[in-house]
Amino acid sequence: MRSPRTFRTGPIIRPEAAPIRALTVTMTVMCYLACLAIGALILINRAVDTWTSGLSREVTVQVRMLRDTDVEREVAKAREILGATSGIVGVDVLDRDAGAKLLEPWLGTGNLADLPIPRLIRVTIDEAHPPDFAALGESLEAGVKGAVLDTHRRWEAELTRMADALSTLSYAILSLICVSAIAMVIFATRTVLDANAHVVDVLHLVGAKNGYIARQIDGRFLKTGLMAGLLGVALGLLTFFLLGLAGTVGAGGVADASRGLLFAAPDIAVWSYGALLSVPVIATLICLITSRVTLIRMLGRVL
């Protein structure tokens, strides 16, 4: 006697279906762009924190060269005033060559010999108990000819404003990526269900419930979102790795920033990689929730 044949139910939506393939490609691109935006946001915030912390620890005193004035004596006076001020932990008088090097990117090296380049004094302050900058500036102006105190507060405010603008732009890009991904999932879900309407009708005829049909379909979208998210993160990490190889170590710029993103200290790397690895999770949730809501509406009942 022949044994009864067993049948295995195949998927309602095949992985090689055109809408699923298109969704996988577009979601991968969206996840890749999201990784780039998140990486850029991390690098911007880290760079601004580094710059502003450096500016908040130091101020600069300029002693300009005036006619009939011994600039070295004025520098010595400024150093005495700074050394006697509470809240200052270090005073470093830079030589004339140090000031000239700061001007070389704009004026070159051959036009600085006859210029009245001011002498610079780098002042390290106690961040916990900073000095009264207004009173210090008045003391320097009264006691030292040609002295000007630069607290870098204007530059710090500009850097903070620039960082806020770039961060807002990055968040706006991430929001647009999420909206675009939701729209693509809705379109793909409708396309898949319309293309397989005859299969859904047959399943209804043999007694399949809408809940079973929806689980089969949105399960395919869940796998698509997870795969696209992982591919997007992999491509994003590969991009930052290649950018890190593009420049010389210690030269600064995008190359060093990319290396700092990938090979940061453990306490920083946890947050950086956590933010990047959240992309597959969010992509999966977008595909799952959006497809389920769309299926509920199209199948005509709450599951």
Q: Identify whether residues 168 and 272 lie together within a single domain.
A: yes
Residues 68-83 pLDDT 10s:
778 888 888 888 888 8
197 inside domain:
yes
Q: Identify whether residues 24 and 120 lie together within a single domain.
A: no
Q: Identify whether residues 31 and 136 lie together within a single domain.
A: no
87 inside domain:
yes
The pTM of this model reads 0.72
CA-CA-CA-CA dihedral for 33, 34, 39, 40, to nearest 10: 70
Looking at per-residue pLDDT, the higher value among 247 and 144 belongs to 144
Closest by alpha carbon to 45, among 53, 34, 35? 53
3 inside domain:
no
Q: Is the pLDDT of residue 192 over 60?
A: yes
Residues 243-281 pLDDT 10s:
888 766 655 566 777 777 777 777 778 888 888 999 999
| Distance of alpha carbon 222 from alpha carbon 285, whole angstroms | 8
User: Which pLDDT does position 89 carry in this prediction?
Assistant: 85
Read off the DSSP letter of residue 61: E
Q: Identify whether residues 90 and 218 lie together within a single domain.
A: no
Helix (H) or strand (E) holding 146: none
Mean pLDDT of the chain: 79
Q: Is the pLDDT of residue 137 over 60?
A: yes
User: Which pLDDT does position 107 carry in this prediction?
Assistant: 60
User: Which pLDDT does position 15 carry in this prediction?
Assistant: 58
44 inside domain:
yes
Percent share of the chain, pLDDT over 90: 17
Structural domain harbouring 201: 18-52+156-299
Q: Is the pLDDT of residue 179 over 90?
A: yes
Out of 156-170, 179-193, 240-254, which region has the weakest mean confidence (pLDDT)?
A: 240-254
232 inside domain:
yes
| Distance of alpha carbon 224 from alpha carbon 28, whole angstroms | 9
Q: Is the pLDDT of residue 184 over 80?
A: yes
- Selection from 64-68, 226-230, 295-299 with the highest mean pLDDT: 226-230
Instruction: Determine phi and psi for 62, rounding to 5 degrees.
Output: -105, 135
Q: Are 224 and 23 in contact (CB under 8 A)?
A: yes
Query: What end-to-end distance do the CA atoms of the chain give, in Å?
Result: 43
Average pLDDT over residues 130-154: 84
- Torsion-angle region of 291 (φ positive above 0: left; ψ -120 to 50: alpha; else: beta): alpha
User: Which pLDDT does position 28 carry in this prediction?
Assistant: 93
173 inside domain:
yes
Q: Identify whether residues 181 and 87 lie together within a single domain.
A: no
User: Which pLDDT does position 302 carry in this prediction?
Assistant: 39
User: Which pLDDT does position 32 carry in this prediction?
Assistant: 94
Q: Identify whether residues 262 and 171 lie together within a single domain.
A: yes
12 inside domain:
no
- Residue that finishes a domain, picked among 120, 145, 170: 145
Q: Identify whether residues 267 and 214 lie together within a single domain.
A: yes
- Residue that finishes a domain, picked among 87, 117, 145: 145
Q: Which residues of 124-144 are buried (b: 16+ CB within 10 A; e: fewer)?
A: ebeeeebbeeeebbebbeeeb
Q: How confident is the model at residue 48 (pLDDT cuts 50, 70, 90)?
A: confident
Q: Identify whether residues 191 and 237 lie together within a single domain.
A: yes
Domains contained in the chain, number:
2
| Distance of alpha carbon 123 from alpha carbon 149, whole angstroms | 10
Closest by alpha carbon to 96, among 68, 72, 79, 60? 72
Q: Identify whether residues 79 and 170 lie together within a single domain.
A: no
Sign of the torsion angle spanned by Cα atoms 175, 176, 181, 186: positive
Q: Identify whether residues 171 and 276 lie together within a single domain.
A: yes
81 inside domain:
yes
The angle formed by the CA atoms of residues 166, 170 and 176, to the nearest 5 degrees, is 140
Out of 179-188, 219-228, 262-271, which region has the weakest mean confidence (pLDDT)?
A: 262-271
User: Which pLDDT does position 284 carry in this prediction?
Assistant: 92
Q: Is the pLDDT of residue 303 over 50?
A: no
Q: How confident is the model at residue 6 (pLDDT cuts 50, 70, 90)?
A: very low
User: Which pLDDT does position 22 carry in this prediction?
Assistant: 86
| Distance of alpha carbon 130 from alpha carbon 58, whole angstroms | 10
Q: Identify whether residues 125 and 264 lie together within a single domain.
A: no
- Residue that finishes a domain, picked among 145, 174, 190: 145
Average pLDDT over residues 120-132: 84
Instruction: Determine phi and psi for 125, rounding to 5 degrees.
Output: -110, 160
Q: Identify whether residues 212 and 291 lie together within a single domain.
A: yes
The beta strand positions in the chain, using DSSP E, are 58-63, 88-93, 119-125, 147-150
How many Cβ atoms are within 10 Å of 23's Cβ, its own excluded? 26
Q: Is the pLDDT of residue 62 over 90?
A: no
